[in-house]
Amino acid sequence: MATATSQQLPRIVRDMTRTELPPELGPLLDHYADVTEDRDELLWQWLYYVFPSFRLSSVPEEHAVDARKAKFCFSLFMTVLDDLSERHRDKETFEQGRKIPFASTRCDPEAPGVDRESLALLQRSWELTDAYLDRAPRREDFRELFEFDFRQSLNTMDYNRLVNDGPQLASSRGAELYDTHNMLLFVYVDIDLAFSPGFDRADLAILRDVTWDAQRLARIGNWVTTWERELDECDYTSRVVIEAIERGVVTEAEIRDDDVPNETLARRIKEAGIEREHLLTWNETYRKLVSREYDVDSVDLHDFVDGMRHLLEVDVKARGLK
């Protein structure tokens, strides 16, 4: 990870790095640090910092902190699971870990090849997520929807593992349809709904329609700001890299060849203008969302969409740091 002094960082990143995580989350983060060094503290600060920017307006202040903590613990669970699948290609632990949250499946910590320490971390992060969700006044109203959206994000991890095992599977359409769910925005919205006593279910279809596009905005911002780091990690699931392969800017053989420097590949990808094209798509999608009139009363969708603008700004300013 790149380093910089506090004065060298953009203001928005300085604010992010000064974010203090709640003391009650400390034991979970300590547990994480004991098990793996895959991610450092900045990622957790970034997450906790950005959550309020796209929290649904239907969440009253009395529930805002619990909703934020539920999202954080859930995000740690999903980050660990994602890294097991994509970074470590640990299919055995991933397959057992993904069962933990669901009553219909039973996790087997004694299964062959399972990393028990990682599984225990997953178990603890889910237990905390579950405990915070139990404080939500409408958890049962949205439980099935939460679990449905949850499974879509788990399927994304499966898809990305397959792509990394065999990049010939990768396609722009696949990235658009599957990888977008890796941003977890539908699940974050479901958590907010569980903490929204006054939300009108009649507004649900419009909210989810907007969430499709908002999640796409979040995914684009992530694609264009993390693909270089992922290239160094031998993770080829970013649509930026996939399109570079499809256009012949780089080849699959090159990105798997240790003798071809990643700096060389990154320079060619940048010169191809793929990032710029995606940012233009982001601008067009955002413009359409903010210009729409939404016939809903129980949630401010313009405020929700505006949170995606702030998220992109944070991603761009923090590029290379997380």
What's the pLDDT tens digit per position in 296-319?
A: 999 999 999 999 999 999 999 888
pLDDT digits (tens, 9 = 90+) for 158-169: 999 988 888 788
Confidence of residue 322 (pLDDT cuts 50, 70, 90): low
pLDDT band at 290 (very low <50, low <70, confident <90, very high): very high
pLDDT at 6 over 70: no
> Which residue did the predictor score with more confidence, 193 or 234?
193
- Does residue 262 register a pLDDT over 60? yes
% residues pLDDT > 70 (the chain): 96
Cβ contacts of residue 45 below 8 Å, gap of 6+? 16, 17, 19, 21
For the domain spanning 22-317, the CATH number is 1.10.600.10
Token look-up 């004694």 returns: 110
pLDDT at 310: 93
- Token pair listed for 110: 């004694």
pLDDT (tens digit, 9 = 90+) per residue, 33-88?
999 999 989 999 999 999 999 999 999 999 999 999 999 999 999 999 999 998 89
> Is residue 32 scored above 70 in pLDDT?
yes
Contact between 278 and 17 under an 8 Å Cβ cutoff? The reply is no
Q: What is the mean pLDDT of the chain?
A: 93
pLDDT of 9 reads 62
Predicted confidence (pLDDT) per residue in 109-141, tens digit: 999 999 999 999 999 999 999 999 999 999 999
pLDDT band at 5 (very low <50, low <70, confident <90, very high): very low
Closest CA relative to residue 210, chosen from 83, 299, 103: 299
CA 29, CA 204: separation in Å to the nearest integer? 34
Give residue 233's pLDDT: 83
Helix axes 26-35, 61-86, angle to 10 degrees: 0
For residue 268, name the pLDDT band (cuts at 50, 70, 90). very high
Q: Please give the pLDDT value at position 317.
A: 87
Domain boundaries of the chain, sorted by first residue: 22-317
Q: CA 161, CA 179: separation in Å to the nearest integer?
A: 11
Give yes or no for residue 1 having a pLDDT over 50: no
Threshold 0.75, pTM exceeds: yes
Name the token pair of 209. Answer: 């329609």
pLDDT-based confidence at 235, cuts 50/70/90?
confident
